Chains A and B, each alone.
Chain A
Amino acid sequence: MSDILLDRVSKSFGENRIISNLSLRIPEKSVTCILGPSGCGKTTLLNLIAGILSPDSGTITGVPEKRSFVFQEDRLCEDFSGYRNIRLVTGNKRSKEDIHRHLAELSLSEEREKPVREYSGGMKRRIALARAICYDADCIFLDEPFKGLDPDRKKETMDYVRRYTESKTVLFVTHDESEAEYLGGLRLSFPLTGSGN
């Protein structure tokens, strides 16, 4: 593995230029928080690095092959239980007991067999997070992962993320300074233009 390198990356949607000529080095095996107000292009940058979007110009290199993503929306199969949603991405690589343990750490033991459509917004968010963590990726992309969690749950969930992301490359988008502070690591504040580290 190596650092993730962005070299003069630009991205526009129609006439709207979101990212302009951006060069960056994102260190491997550490947390990088991308901060900034809503609509400034944080998610676009995350999607570009994750390979979901392609840049109009410039290159992105060094992104680990095995990646997981907590999208801004939960993107869960509503008819399936929380457990089954996680199992869908892990396959047989994780045991049932292991997934149950992860759910217990997020206080979701009681609900693990209920269909996701019966979950609250906060519960769905935690399932999406557990899915990304259980996938056991080398690089984890988190797009506002603590959105909609109450303060107690937020702390529990942030501790969970901290526990399982040591020695992994984590890219974390938020507009909440306190979340960035809690998870630590490098901070990139929008607007980002030109060269940076």
Chain B
Amino acid sequence: MKIEAALKSRSFFRILSVLLALILWQILATRINMDMMLASPIQVLERLFTIWREPDFFSTLFFSWSRIMSGFLLAFLGGFLMGTLAGALRPVELLLWPYVTVAKTVPIASFIILCLLWLNYSQMTVFIAFLIAFPVIYANVLQGIRSTDPKLNEVASFYRIPWYRKYLFITLPSVKPYLISACGVAIGMAWKAGVAAEVIGIIDGSIGEKLYEGKIYFLNADLLSWTLILILLSVLNERLFSLFLKGVFRGVQKL
């Protein structure tokens, strides 16, 4: 009975798919048989055990984390504020439309190269993370506001509920699922774009610089170890921020 339940569970299949991917990776690494082209999972695991003992490990993590998450938080605040304003006032949406469209459609590499000319290197990561996350948050907040039940809005105007109570108790619950899922996507994108900016700009003391060094010195195990650390950081930040947002929404419900 227990085995049957385990077979049906999602986590079982997740673990199984990760194991299969690791086996595939190991087979590929054995076939290629060149550490500098593709390190094996075991080599990467060994490197992970030593990498965190290096003197600049935590400062590198903090350097990239603080800049990427600052960019994301600015995008969160900006996207939330502008999305709310655009939801309430159509002219704001029309006014923002060209900027949001440019941010959504122009390849991030173009922005990175422009930033290399315009900004200092430490500002660049913040700006790129902001630029990639802002349209996601903005569009989802706007969508959430637009999907508010018009019948509840009618109740609010019939009972003359003050605008701030209407916003907190009718509009925000409708924005909630959009915002939580948007933040999950935006954090992942901010990490990807932020690190890409660090690699292209070869920013001193960043994770991007470590990835770049991994490439030029053929330290494939280093490159893959830092990539795994990046994935972990991105997922951890995504989960923590989602918990934080859910807590905030729970608090609002109790007001």
Binds A, one of B124-132, B157-165, B197-205: B157-165
A126 to chain B, nearest CB (A): 16
Is B158 in contact with A67, judged by CB distance below 8 angstroms?
yes
Across the interface, B158 reaches (CB within 8 A) one of A69, A77, A79, namely: A69
Q: Which residues of chain B come closer than 8 Å to A75, judged between CB atoms?
A: 149, 151-152, 154-155
Measured CB to CB, the nearest residue on chain B to A90 is B159
Measured CB to CB, the nearest residue on chain A to B166 is A88
Main secondary structure of the interface of B (DSSP, over half): helix
Per-position 1/0 for A74-94, Cβ under 8 A of B: 010101100010001101000
Is B173 in contact with A71, judged by CB distance below 8 angstroms?
no
Q: How far is the CA of A151 from the CA of B162 in the complex (A)?
A: 37
Interface assignment of A33: CB less than 8 Å from any CB of chain B: no
Q: Which residues of chain A come closer than 8 Å to B173, judged between CB atoms?
A: 77, 79
B-contacting residues, A54-85, CB 8 Å: 67-69, 71, 73, 75, 77, 79-80, 84
* Tally of chain A residues near chain B (CB < 8 A): 16
Q: How far is the CA of A89 from the CA of B157 in the complex (A)?
A: 10
Q: How far is the CA of A57 from the CA of B132 in the complex (A)?
A: 53
A-B contact count (CB 8 A): 37
Interface assignment of A50: CB less than 8 Å from any CB of chain B: yes
* Tally of chain B residues near chain A (CB < 8 A): 14
Is B169 in contact with A73, judged by CB distance below 8 angstroms?
no
Known: A52-B158, A77-B173. A88 touches B253 (CB 8 A): no
A114 to chain B, nearest CB (A): 13
Interface assignment of B73: CB less than 8 Å from any CB of chain A: no
Interface assignment of A135: CB less than 8 Å from any CB of chain B: yes
Is B159 in contact with A77, judged by CB distance below 8 angstroms?
no
Measured CB to CB, the nearest residue on chain B to A128 is B155
Q: Which residues of chain A come closer than 8 Å to B29, judged between CB atoms?
A: none
Across the interface, A80 reaches (CB within 8 A) one of B151, B155, B159, B253, namely: B253
A residues bordering B, Cβ < 8 Å?
A: 50, 52, 67-69, 71, 73, 75, 77, 79-80, 84, 88-89, 91, 135
B residues bordering A, Cβ < 8 Å?
A: 149, 151-152, 154-155, 158-159, 161-162, 165, 169-170, 173, 253
Interchain residue pairs with CB less than 8 A apart (18): A52-B154, A52-B158, A67-B158, A68-B159, A69-B158, A75-B149, A75-B151, A75-B152, A75-B154, A75-B155, A77-B170, A77-B173, A80-B169, A80-B253, A84-B253, A88-B159, A91-B165, A135-B159
